C-alpha cells in the first residue's frame, strides 16, 4: 500500500539538510545530507527504490555535486535498502552494520506488513567499517561518526554529530511522534545511551530516525516512554501476564497517540527478556514478538506506506 512520496528537505544549518519523509511511520525514515562544495555526504538512504530516487532528486535540487560518502546509522532496511542506488559513494558503517545487512539479505514481503513495492534492489553493505567511530570532513566541517558503545535500537547504532553546527543525526535512537522500538537491541541500553551518550552532546538540532526535526526535548520524551515500558514490564511480568496481555491492559496512557502503537508489544518482549537475564542485544524470538504485534493490531498485518 505505497503512498505518494511526501517529504520535506529542511536546511538545518549552513550546507546541512534533513530529508524528512512523512508521516514517519513504518519504513518512512529520515535521511540527511551535507554539501561541502566538493561532494555530498549522505546519512542513510530509504527503504525502496522509488523513495531513494526521490531523496536523490531532492539532493540534486540543492547541488550538482555527487554523493561521495554514505554513512549508515544502523542496518535496518529502511535506512539501507537504497544504498546500491549511490554506486559512486564510499559506504561507511559500524562493522556489525555490515554483518547484519549481509545476514538479513534482500527485501521480501514476509507477512508482517502489507505488501511493499521494493523496486530494484542489490545488496550494498558498508565497505569501510569501524569499531568505535570515524571522523569525516565536509570541507572544514567536522562530522563525528560514533558507535554508541552498546546495543540500543539495534546492536550497531551510530550517530553523526556536527559539533560546530550543534546538529545531531541520531538514527533510530530517537523517534519524534512515533513509538520507539527496541526489540532488536536493548531497553536498558537505549536508556543508558540517551542519558550518557546523546544528552551530553548538547545538540540543539536533532534529526531523529523518524518524525520532524526537533530539539533536545525529544530525549526526555523518549526516556519517559522507555521508562513507562520498563515499569509496565516489571509489574505485568510479576502478575503473570504475557507481553501481549500487558500491552492490551496498559492503555498506553499518555503515549496512546504515538504512531505505530503496536511496537509496545515488541518492546515488552525485549523488556521481559532482560528481566529474565538476557544480555543487551541478545537474539530473542523476534518472530513471536511480531506475531503478537499483529494480534495487538487486530490480526491485521502492520501498515507501511513505503
CATH number at residue 219: 3.60.15.10
Examine residue 75 and state whether it is found in any structural domain, yes or no: yes
Q: Summarize pLDDT for 248-259 with one digit per residue, the tens.
A: 999 999 999 999
For the cut 70, the answer to whether the pLDDT of residue 1 exceeds it is no
Cell output for 234: 516489571
User: Does 106 lie in the same domain as 79?
Assistant: yes
User: Does 143 lie in the same domain as 23?
Assistant: yes
What per-residue confidence (pLDDT) applies to 109? 77
Could you tell me the residue range of the domain that residue 37 belongs to? 7-225
Residue pair 157/137 in contact (Cβ under 8 Å)? The answer is: no
For the cut 60, the answer to whether the pLDDT of residue 77 exceeds it is yes
User: Does 238 lie in the same domain as 97?
Assistant: no
User: Does 215 lie in the same domain as 68?
Assistant: yes
User: Does 161 lie in the same domain as 33?
Assistant: yes
Q: Which of 192, 225, 258 is the last residue of a domain?
A: 225
Q: Where is average pLDDT lowest: 105-119, 265-279, 281-295?
A: 105-119
Q: Quote the CA–CA distance of 78 and 82 in Å, as a whole number.
A: 8
Examine residue 204 and state whether it is found in any structural domain, yes or no: yes
Q: Summarize pLDDT for 222-256 with one digit per residue, the tens.
A: 999 999 999 999 999 999 999 999 999 999 999 99
Q: Which of 225, 258, 288 is the last residue of a domain?
A: 225
What per-residue confidence (pLDDT) applies to 288? 97
For 6, 7, 208, 219, 287, the CA distances from 212, given in Å and listed in that order, are: 13, 10, 7, 14, 30
User: Does 79 lie in the same domain as 172?
Assistant: yes
What per-residue confidence (pLDDT) applies to 5? 85
User: Does 212 lie in the same domain as 137?
Assistant: yes
CB neighbours of residue 201 within 10 Å = 18
User: Does 101 lie in the same domain as 51?
Assistant: yes
Q: Which of 169, 195, 225 is the last residue of a domain?
A: 225
Examine residue 189 and state whether it is found in any structural domain, yes or no: yes
What is the 3-class SS of the chain, one letter each residue? Answer: CCCCCCEEEEEEECCEEEEEECCCCCCCCEEEEEECCCCEEEECCCCCHHHHHHHHHHHHHHCCCCEEEEECCCCCHHHHCCHHHCCCCEEEEEHHHHHHHHHHCCCCCCCCECCCCCCCCCCCCCCEEECCEEEEEECCEEEEEEECCCCCCCCCCEEEEECCCCEEEEEEEEECCECCCCCCCCHHHHHHHHHHHHHHHCCCEEEEEECCCECCHHHHHHHHHHHHHHHHHHHHHHCCCCHHHHHHHHCCHHHCCCECCCHHHHHHHHHHHHHCCCCCCCCCCHHHHHHHHHHHCCCCCECCCC
User: Does 202 lie in the same domain as 109?
Assistant: yes
Q: Summarize pLDDT for 122-167 with one digit per residue, the tens.
A: 999 999 999 999 999 999 999 999 999 999 999 999 999 999 999 9
Examine residue 304 and state whether it is found in any structural domain, yes or no: no
User: Does 258 lie in the same domain as 136?
Assistant: no
Structurally, how many domains does the chain consist of? 2
What per-residue confidence (pLDDT) applies to 108? 85
Q: Summarize pLDDT for 85-110 with one digit per residue, the tens.
A: 999 999 999 999 999 999 999 998 77
User: Does 209 lie in the same domain as 153?
Assistant: yes
User: Does 252 lie in the same domain as 166?
Assistant: no
Examine residue 283 and state whether it is found in any structural domain, yes or no: yes
Examine residue 302 and state whether it is found in any structural domain, yes or no: no
Q: pTM of the entire structure?
A: 0.97
Examine residue 104 and state whether it is found in any structural domain, yes or no: yes
Examine residue 303 and state whether it is found in any structural domain, yes or no: no
Amino acid at each position: 500500500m505505497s503512498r505518494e512520496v511526501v517529504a520535506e528537505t529542511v536546511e538545518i544549518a549552513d550546507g546541512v539538510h534533513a530529508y524528512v519523509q512523512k508521516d514517519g511511520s513504518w519504513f518512512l525514515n529520515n535521511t540527511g545530507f551535507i554539501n561541502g562544495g566538493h561532494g555530498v555526504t549522505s546519512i542513510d538512504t530509504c527503504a525502496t527504490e522509488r523513495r531513494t530516487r526521490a531523496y536523490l532528486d531532492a539532493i540534486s535540487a540543492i547541488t550538482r555535486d555527487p554523493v561521495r560518502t554514505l554513512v549508515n546509522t544502523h542496518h535496518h532496511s529502511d535506512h539501507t535498502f537504497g544504498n546500491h542506488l549511490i554506486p559512486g559513494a564510499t559506504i561507511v558503517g559500524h562493522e556489525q552494520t555490515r554483518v547484519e545487512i549481509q545476514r538479513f539479505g534482500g527485501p521480501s514481503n514476509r507477512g508482517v506488513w502489507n505488501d511493499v513495492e521494493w523496486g530494484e534492489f542489490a545488496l550494498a553493505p558498508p565497505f569501510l567499517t569501524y569499531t568505535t567511530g570515524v571522523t569525516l570532513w565536509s570541507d572544514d566541517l567536522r562530522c563525528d561518526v560514533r558507535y554508541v558503545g552498546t546495543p540500543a535500537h539495534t546492536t550497531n547504532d551510530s550517530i553523526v554529530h556536527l559539533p560546530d553546527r550543534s546538529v545531531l543525526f541520531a538514527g533510530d535512537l530517537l523517534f519524534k511522534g512515533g513509538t520507539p522500538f527496541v526489540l532488536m537491541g536493548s531497553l536498558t541500553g537505549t536508556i543508558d545511551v540517551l542519558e550518557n551518550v546523546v544528552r551530553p552532546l548538547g545538540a540543539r538540532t536533532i534529526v531523529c530516525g523518524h518524525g520532524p526535526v526537533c530539539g533536545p526535548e525529544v530525549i526526555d520524551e523518549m526516556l519517559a516512554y522507555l521508562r513507562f515500558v520498563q515499569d509496565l514490564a516489571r509489574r505485568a511480568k510479576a502478575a503473570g501476564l504475557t507481553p501481549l496481555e500487558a500491552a492490551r491492559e496498559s492503555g498506553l496512557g499518555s503515549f496512546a497517540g504515538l504512531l505505530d502503537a503496536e511496537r509496545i508489544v515488541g518492546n515488552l518482549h525485549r523488556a521481559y527478556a532482560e528481566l529474565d537475564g538476557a544480555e543487551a542485544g541478545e537474539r530473542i524470538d523476534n518472530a513471536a514478538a511480531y506475531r503478537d504485534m499483529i494480534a495487538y493490531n487486530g490480526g491485521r498485518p502492520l501498515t507501511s506506506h513505503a
